[in-house]
Each structure stands twice: as C-alpha cells, then as structure tokens.
C-alpha cells in the first residue's frame, strides 16, 4: 500500500478530508470532478485517494461533455501547495494509491481490476483517518460484485471499514459493531442489520441486537443532532411485522425482541418509543421532521429495504450514508455506481456534495470520534 505523502503546511492548515474515488468503471470519479467544479470551496481541504489517470479521464469526460472551462478543476498532487495565479481555480488534489495503472478499466462493466483499485482507495483513506493523516473519509460508490471478483471478503464499504477499524484498534470485528444510517433533510433511518439476506435480517431481530442498535444510534445522535438541538435524542422504532405484530397475531418478534429492547433502552435513560407499524412510522417521521418538537430524530428499521425505500423515495440527491460505531467519520452518497451513466458526465453530484457537507460537520472537534468522543 502506497503511504500518504507528508503534508506541507502551506497546503493544509489541518488534516484534510479524504475522498475515495469509488469504482473507476462507475460514476464516482466524474461526480468528484463535478462536485469540485460546482463548489470548489469544499475541496480546499480535501484530497482524492485513487489513481491519477482515472481522475484525468473523468476530468476529460466532463470537459468534453460541457463542463464550463472556468469550472474545470486543476489536478495537483496531494501535497502541492497552491501556486500563484490559481486564485479562484478549482483544485482537485490527488493522492496516488499504488502504482499508476497502465490499462484503465472500461466504463460500465464489472471488473476485478476496478474492484481492486476501489478497495485500495478505501483502505488508503480509512487507514489515513485512523492514523490522523486525514480527519474524515467520504467514499464514492463501489460495485459489490467487482469487490468480490477482486478477492475482497466484504460485501460492502461498511463491513470493510469495520474490519479495518477493528484491526487498527486490535480488537475483533464483533467487538466493533457498526450500523448504517441513511439521512436526508427530512428523514433519518438506522438499520438493525445491513447487507444480509432477508432471512438473516429477520434472525437478527433479537433483543440484544436491537438494544445494541439503539445504543449505537443514541450515542451518535447525542454527539451530533441532539447536541445542536440542546435536548436528548428522540428515537422511534419500527416493527418487523405488519401492524407491528398486532399483539402477536402477525408474528412474535415485537413481543419477544423489540419491546424488551425498547424497555431496556428506556431504563437506561434513552428517549426511545415504539415499535410502530412499519407502513406508517416513516410517514409520521417525515411529516413532523421540521416541527418544533419532531416525532423523532431517527427511525430504527429492522432490515435494509424497510429503511432504505422511504429514504430513497424522497430522493437520493440529498441522501447521505453515515456509518455509526466506527472510530472515524465516514459518509458517502446515497446511490450506487450507475454503470449506465458512467463516461457520460450526466451523473448528479448533489448527493456527494451532501456527503462532503456532512463529513465536514461530523469531523468538527466536538463531534468527531478522532477527537476523543469515540463510539
């Protein structure tokens, strides 16, 4: 693994945010270029971890497909200080990860080479944050099948980052539980289980698992959203079954697992309520999102699609994925690699910009696990 270049004081006043380039066959590199062109101020203290030739290709695609010349970013090495004559010019700093690739992955195809390059960028960024060379990690989209073809054992970003963080801390993966939160301005949801089959997700609805989800979520919200609002976090819990089980008529998971977990969390002083019927709780949360006293700050979903469908239905443009439970700040756009758009410069960079804004907020000294408020 290629190590990060030493920072030059005139280039960065503090450790920058690192953005992993994502799958090079997808839209990640392009949306990074477009985000830098749209809001160059976000990239004054940001570095892209990846392959310089991949980023040059993305820049060329955006240039050929109508990116205004005055907004075309200038690619420079990570540790290069701003030069005279570049005032107002968008600058995209790139940390070359590994040896430059001679053959670039083709657009829009699942390829082991692309999966390997994406994984290298993630590992570089995560280790850099854990070692305090960077202050937060923003990950552009990867393709899970390409990651598997490259021989990596993790089903996605979340599990890979969990393993890297556990290794860094010298603990087992099971001793560093993590959860996925999807957030937009109108709704937040945390998943009780992540990338597993639906059958496995149902099996994960146990009192101990739900209680752990509530604890991880409460700890995160107490350091972020609730601190800003000057009140305790308010957590709603969705049921697993229709009508939240209807008193055991439609399933017993609520009575056997969810209700005991909620009671235990309440006994520990957490503001937790539910379980609510899953077909209405997200509507209630969305409807009252901006009320003086919202219905909740987050909804706990019992499985992946239960939580992600309502968030994504509201629009992925402002959606952000945040990993809870890690000793580092990690955010990402709420969408995938969009192979059908790769190489066209038509992909929307708004979700990446939202992820950058979220990473900047979370990596502030009061919120960041890297500054002593570990999960």
> What is the predicted pLDDT for the residue at 245?
80
The reported pLDDT for the residue numbered 11 is: 61
CA dist., res. 232 & res. 219, Å (int): 10
Q: Note the pLDDT tens digit of each residue in 134-167.
A: 999 999 999 999 999 999 999 889 999 999 999 9
Give the model's pLDDT for residue 9: 37
Domains 1-177+328-375 and 187-313 share a fold: yes
**Rounded CA separation 28/22 (Å):** 5
Pairs from 193-197 (Cβ < 8 Å, separation ≥ 24) = 193/302, 193/303, 193/304, 194/156, 194/158, 194/159, 194/304, 195/144, 195/155, 195/156, 195/158, 195/159, 195/304, 196/304
Domain boundary assignment for the chain: 1-177+328-375, 187-313
Q: Which pLDDT value is given to residue 226?
A: 64
**Strands of 91-96's sheet, edge to edge?**
74-77, 91-96, 46-50, 17-20, 136-139, 330-333, 320-324, 179-184, 187-191, 298-301, 234-238, 271-276
Residues of the chain with pLDDT under 50: 1-10, 84-85, 370-375
Which pLDDT does position 374 carry in this prediction?
36
For 331-370, write each residue's pLDDT tens digit.
999 889 999 999 999 999 999 999 999 999 898 855 555 4
* pLDDT number for residue 81: 65
Strands 91-96 and 136-139, sheet pairing: unpaired
CATH number of 187-313: 3.40.718.10
CA-to-CA distance for 317 and 244, rounded, in angstroms?
A: 31
DSSP states along 234-252: EEEEE-SSGGGGGGGTT-S
Burial of 187-223, coded b for 16+ CB within 10 Å and e otherwise, reads bbbbbbbbbeeeeebbebbbbebbbbbbbbbbbbbeb
pTM score: 0.88
320-324/179-184 β-pairing:
antiparallel
CATH superfamily of 1-177+328-375: Isopropylmalate Dehydrogenase (3.40.718.10)
pLDDT digits (tens, 9 = 90+) for 273-294: 999 999 999 999 998 878 777 8
């Amino acid at each position: 693994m290629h190590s990060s270049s030493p920072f030059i004081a005139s280039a960065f006043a503090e450790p920058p945010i690192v953005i992993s380039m994502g799958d090079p066959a997808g839209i990640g590199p392009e949306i990074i270029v477009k985000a830098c062109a749209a809001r160059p101020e976000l990239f004054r203290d940001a570095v892209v971890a990846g392959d310089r030739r991949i980023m040059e290709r993305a820049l060329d695609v955006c240039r050929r497909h109508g990116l205004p010349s005055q907004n075309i970013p200038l690619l420079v090495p990570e540790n290069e200080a701003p030069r005279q004559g570049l005032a107002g010019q968008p600058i995209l700093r790139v940390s070359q990860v590994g040896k430059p690739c001679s053959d670039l992955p083709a657009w829009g195809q699942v390829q082991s080479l692309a999966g390997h390059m994406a994984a290298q960028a993630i590992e570089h960024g995560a280790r850099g944050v854990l070692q305090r060379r960077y202050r937060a990690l923003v990950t552009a989209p990867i393709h899970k099948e390409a990651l598997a073809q490259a021989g990596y054992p993790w089903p996605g970003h979340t599990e890979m980052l969990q393993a890297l963080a556990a290794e860094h801390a010298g603990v087992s993966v099971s001793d560093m539980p993590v959860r996925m939160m999807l957030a937009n301005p109108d709704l937040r949801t945390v998943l009780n289980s992540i990338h597993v089959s639906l059958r496995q997700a149902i099996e994960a609805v146990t009192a101990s698992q739900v209680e752990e989800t509530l604890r991880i979520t409460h700890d995160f919200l107490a350091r972020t959203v609730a601190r800003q609002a000057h009140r305790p976090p308010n957590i709603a819990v969705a049921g697993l079954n229709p009508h939240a089980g209807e008193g055991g008529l439609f399933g017993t998971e609520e009575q056997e697992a969810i209700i005991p977990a909620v009671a235990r969390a309440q006994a520990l002083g957490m503001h937790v309520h539910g379980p609510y019927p899953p077909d209405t709780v997200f509507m209630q949360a969305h409807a009252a999102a901006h009320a003086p006293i919202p219905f909740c700050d987050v909804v706990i979903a019992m499985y992946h699609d239960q939580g992600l469908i309502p968030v994504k239905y509201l629009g992925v443009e402002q959606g952000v994925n945040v990993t809870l439970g890690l000793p580092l700040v990690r955010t990402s756009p709420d969408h995938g690699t969009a192979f059908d758009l790769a190489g066209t410069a038509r992909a929307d960079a708004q979700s990446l910009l939202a992820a950058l804004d979220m990473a900047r907020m979370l990596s502030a000294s009061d919120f960041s696990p890297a500054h002593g408020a570990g999960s």
